[in-house]
Amino acid sequence: MEPDEPAVRIDGLRHRFKETVAVDALDLVVRRAEIFGLLGPNGAGKTTTIRVLTTLLPPQAGTVEVFGLDVRRRRMAVRRLIGYVPQALSADPALSGRENVALFARLFDVPRAQRRDRTAEVIDAMGLADAADRPAGTYSGGMVRRLELAQALVSAPRLLVLDEPTIGLDPVARAGVWERIHETRARTGMTVLVTTHYMEEAAANCDRVALMHRGRIRALDTPAALVASLQGEAANLDDVFREYTGDDLDGGGFKDVRVARRAR
């Protein structure tokens, strides 16, 4: 890996599901150690892009690299560099918080001699030490999300991928999740790629953001620069979102609603 390689490089990525084009000739670069927001309405292609990036879907056309490693040819090596927190619940409610994190340590091949210390370290970093031996099913929504962050971080990933990490959480819990993300990034220098529908969250936490619509990037810059680029008196990133996605928004389908409500 060259020292000047970006964390993520995507060139000409295309992916379709039957007749539906989910990602259409996507080009994207995510710099090392930045928090990068991938924004857009439901159906924009964000989750498909992330699934290709995390090797859960093979790229149909184009190239995707993580720290210089091609996701098609070096799938297992790429997986060792990534921590992934999906939208769907990934913690087992019947296991304790400690057992959930220890399970991920084994799944991600953390050396046996390091597993106990690594598990305790990330549990403490996420502020869950006092609840570590309680069943995860007794945790609040914010605690569950922090537990899932601990699961993703136990392998010390160089890239943390977060798909709607605070969906369904109240403002206090959302702030707590982001506080832990910033603390970990500052301590380790990891890169963070996040999708979110909360524009104020993206504006407050992301170094740069990209607006994605119908499979393509429509705008990319710092949140402040995107707001300043609009004609007139744009108040915030919501105005930028509307500018580049238009009126073609319906809030998603039944599946999206079900996911959000389950997260509460």
Token digits for 103?
A: 């399970």
For residue 11, list its beta bridge partners: 63
Segment 4-35, tens digit of pLDDT? 789 999 999 999 998 888 999 999 999 999 99
CB atoms within 10 A of CB 55: 20
- Model pLDDT, residue 233: 64
Q: Assess contact for 220 and 38: CB atoms under 8 A.
A: no
Token digits for 13?
A: 């990525």
Q: Over 90: is that where the pLDDT of 258 sits?
A: no
For residue 20, list its beta bridge partners: 17
Mean pLDDT of the chain: 89
Closest CA to 147 of 101, 84, 116: 101
List, as one string, the DSSP characters of 186-224.
HHH--EEEEE-S-HHHHHHH-SEEEEEETTEEEEEE-HH
Token digits for 48?
A: 């498909």
Q: How confident is the model at residue 88 (pLDDT cuts 50, 70, 90)?
A: confident
Choice among 77-81, 214-218, 260-264 with the minimum mean pLDDT = 260-264
137: DSSP letter = G
Q: Element (H or E) spanning 143, and its range?
A: helix 141-153
Closest CA to 210 of 45, 85, 48, 91: 45
- Model pLDDT, residue 167: 87
- Model pLDDT, residue 213: 94
Token digits for 262?
A: 């389950």
For residue 10, list its beta bridge partners: 28, 64
Segment 193-232, tens digit of pLDDT? 999 999 999 999 999 999 999 999 999 999 999 999 887 6
Q: For 152, phi and psi rounded to 5 degrees?
A: -70, -30
Segment 143-190, tens digit of pLDDT? 999 999 999 999 999 999 999 999 888 899 889 999 999 999 999 999
